[in-house]
Amino acid sequence: MSEEIKVVASNRKAGFEYFLLDKFEAGLALQGSEIKSIRAGQMSIQESYVDIENGQQAYLMEAYVAPYEQANRFNHDPRRKRKLLLHKKEIRKLWDEVRIKGMTIVPLRVYIKNGRAKIEIALAKGKKAYDKRAAIAKRDEARSAERETRVR
Rounded to two decimals, what is the model's pTM? 0.81
116 inside domain: yes
Among 50, 36, 47, CA closest to 13: 47
CATH classification of the domain holding 88: 2.40.280.10
Q: Which residues contact 51 (CB under 8 A, 6 or more apart)?
A: 58, 59, 61, 81
pLDDT in tens, the chain (152 residues): 557 888 999 998 888 888 899 999 999 998 888 888 888 888 899 989 999 988 889 999 999 988 877 767 777 777 889 999 999 999 999 999 888 887 899 999 999 998 899 999 999 998 888 888 988 898 899 999 888 888 76
117 inside domain: yes
52 inside domain: yes
Among 86, 88, 92, 89, CA closest to 121: 86
